[in-house]
Structure 1
Amino acid sequence: MSNRSNQAIDSSNKNSNTNSKAPKDKEIVRDYFNSTGFDRWRRIYGEGDVNRVQRDIRTGHQQTVDYVLDWFKNDKNAVGQTVCDAGCGTGSLSIPLSAMGAKVYASDISEKMVGEGKARASNPENPIFEVKDLASLSGEYDTVICLDVLIHYPDRESEEMIAHLASLAKSRLILSFAPKNPYYVLMKKVGDMVPGPSKATRAYLHKESDVRRVLQKLGFTIKRKEFTATSFYFSRLLEAVRN
């Protein structure tokens, strides 16, 4: 899943002192999307000319966004619903959701991504954009959505993030993640060997069974699911409703 990155950086260090000073995943993600990664993903999430790989990722990401929008359309419940779009990027989901009548709070760890989202939105009051990481989010929302973010964090941190996001959701939590299976593990290893200046964050795959286990433990039941797979993007999308 090339959700803003599709490779892992070398996390090995020569001694424990170096390990203690190594940047954490959150810091790496924040720095990346405020620097070299911003321009790359701004173009991918936009409509301008991109290369073949970026176009493929754009297509995959948009398919995932469209699945979520279709769920709202099918349920006919967007108008007036409060939604938290956690990790909103440039607003590819937040902006159309707000146009459907939802009251959207959109946050991202990257100040530049949030600035781009504000620039793309026609309504300065909806969505409401703010720079925040997932752990800092607060409040209560009818639906909490987190797309293409968990790939940046290992299992333990991802479980903590899911639990925190679930605590903010009154009725529904929608997540996407890169599923871990032998085929995608192999694809990731191949991608790790391909160098590139825009590849600067770790990429983690997650077992669907583990994500389901966490959601069940938190009191949620899977209502719907979808899967997106293009040449360079793969994503499992789950809609979980509170029991």
Structure 2
Amino acid sequence: MTNAVNDKAVVKDYFNATGFDRWRRIYGDGEVNKVQKDIRIGHQQTIDTVIDWLKSDGNLAELSICDAGCGVGSLSIPLAQAGAKVWASDISEKMVGEAREKAKEVLGEIYNPTFSVQDLESLGGKYHTVVCLDVLIHYPTEDAAKMIGHLASLAENRLILSFAPKTLCLTILKKIGEFFPGPSKTTRAYQHKEADIIKILENNGFTIGRTSMTSTRFYFSRILEAVRN
């Protein structure tokens, strides 16, 4: 548990300091370097995949959605635009502040999404769908299992996760420093075996539905939709 606390503290400090400035640029539309642009494209592809899934079901306006680890609102804001009722949270106060400002620009005074500064473990409530994208990379599998279990307890019908898959190719890239390159890298990047994540979801009463893979030069994300049995 000490390792989990340490990882959480590192992530919180990072995204409230140098990490915030770096990732705000990546998630935005301003000028970035080639590596950051590649990561921006990959992250947006993951966001687009999840939005397409939710929209294709035809009932998005009827759903309550928890966006756990919302960052600057890249997913929360378009879901709110589409009519979903969204509760969004992030461990970083600066990220949440940026998300609120973006939501005001896009949505005006409509009080949706509802944003809060919280870590995954402290989230409460019940939601039709819980989404957690690009967060598990900050935590080792043993701690990720606990977090997934908690998120599963909040999801009445569905849990959607993304994670960096552990493959031989990506392990080699990570070891030679190409997985998350750049001088501002200060957090550990954990990969997860897909079989391990699926087993955790199954142990929490879910069955795998849709799956997808986002792969660019520097961004790799496996996306799983898990539906409650």
Q: TM-score, normalised by structure 1?
A: 0.89
| 1:106 and 2:88 are equivalent in the alignment | yes
- 1:80 CA displacement: 2.6
Cα distance per residue 1:129-186 (max 9 Å; x no partner):
1000000000000000000000000011000000000000000000000000111100
Unaligned regions of 5+ residues in structure 2, if any? none
Q: Partners of 1:22 and 1:79 in 2: how far apart? A: 36
Name the structure 1 match of 2:99. Answer: 117
Specify the SS of the correspondent of 1:191. coil
Find the partner of 2:49 among 67, 72, 80.
Answer: 67
State how far apart, in whole Å, the 1-side matches of 2:12 and 2:48 are.
26
Please say if residues 163 and 221 of structure 2, whose CA atoms lie closer than 8 Å, have aligned partners that are also in contact. yes
Which of structures 1 and 2 has the larger relative contact order (alpha carbons within 8 angstroms, sep 6+)?
A: 1
| DSSP 3-state at the match of 1:89 | coil
Distance 1:167 1:65 in 2: 23
Which amino acid counterpart does residue 82 of structure 2 have in structure 1? M
Out of 130, 154, 157, which is 1:144 matched to?
130
Deviation at 1:196, TM superposition (A): 4.0
Aligned-pair distance for 1:193? 9.7
Change (3 A) 1:217 1:229: same
TM-score, normalization: structure 2? 0.94
1:95 aligned counterpart, secondary structure: helix
When structure 1 is superposed on structure 2, of 72-81 and 31-40 the one drifting more is 72-81
Structure 1 counterpart SS, 2:221: strand
Q: CA deviation at 1:73?
A: 1.3
Question: Does the alignment pair 1:206 with 2:192?
Answer: yes
Cα deviation, 1:76-122, whole Å, max 9, x if unaligned, reads 11103100000000000000000000000000000000000000003
Look up the SS of the partner of 1:199 in the other structure.
coil
Structure with the greater alpha carbon radius of gyration: 1
In structure 1, list runs of 5 or more residues that go unmatched.
1-19
What number of residue pairs does the alignment pair up?
Answer: 224
> 1:25 aligns to what SS in structure 2?
helix
Q: In 2, distance between residues paired with 1:187 and 1:83?
A: 34
Say which SS state the counterpart of residue 47 (structure 2) adopts.
helix
Q: Distance in 2 between matches of 1:134 and 1:192?
A: 28
Cα distance between partner residues in 2 of 1:57 and 1:203: 14
Measured in 2, the distance between the counterparts of 1:24 and 1:40 equals 22
Contact 2:4 2:143 in 1 (8 A): no
Distance 2:123 2:213 in 1: 27
